[in-house]
Amino acid sequence: MTTLFHNLAAWVVAWAHTPYASVALALLAFAESSFFPIPPDVLLISLALIQPRHSFAYAIVCTAFSVLGGMVGYAIGRYGGRPLLERFMSSAKIHAVESYYRRYDVWAVGLAGFTPIPYKVFTISAGTFLLDFKRFILASFVGRGGRFFLVAALFYFFGEPIADFVNKSLNMLSVAFAALLVGGFALIHRLSKRYGQGSARPHSERIREP
């Protein structure tokens, strides 16, 4: 299985040196969101390394087609149902994903899209658990776009010297950034809740007559 995965990855990277590299990136990003095992980062990094000036254009292609593929994954889950999900995932993983949805709703998709967790697991399960489709799309753009544009920015501003660091540390950076996102959302939620409680006090308590 490891050899097969390695050969697939090598085949994907080889497309970076062809005139059809952008098309290959689009198809890979689309397929990985629902069934293909190789993440598009592999080809995105290769292309950004070869042409750093085009990094953001590649990130746009990668994000757009990844989200389109996520829509297909959502449809697979919605119409294939839980039995289909059980063919690809253990009951423990399904339970874990379901608990993420109960806690974070569609933002579990956004976080998964940014982290090393296989995105297809969350797109298919999002359809299975009938998450709101529009919010699912929004969360997908945030998560996938955040990850791909992070790669693009690193290569655009630092070029080839950053290649080894990105290859070794991308997953770690993604997880760290996702943690910051969660912390930011939690802080905003807490502040808005506190502000809401303050605004809910009776008008007579907040404004005293002179």
Which one-letter DSSP state was computed for residue 40?
T
Tens-place pLDDT, residues 16-62? 889 999 999 999 999 998 888 888 888 898 898 888 899 999 999 99
The structural domains of the chain, with segments of one domain joined by +, span 2-201
Looking at residues 2-10, what average pLDDT do you find?
Answer: 69
CA distances from 98 to 3, 134, 206 (A): 32, 19, 43
CA distances from 38 to 5, 86, 190, 194 (A): 8, 21, 38, 44
pLDDT at 183: 52
Tens-place pLDDT, residues 54-111? 999 999 999 999 999 999 999 998 988 778 777 766 777 777 777 777 777 777 777 7
Residue 175 φ/ψ, nearest 5 degrees = -65, -40
pLDDT at 175: 52
Coil, helix or strand at residue 42? helix
CB-CB contact of 173 with 150 (8 Å): yes
pLDDT band of residue 142 (cuts 50, 70, 90) is confident
pLDDT band of residue 155 (cuts 50, 70, 90) is confident
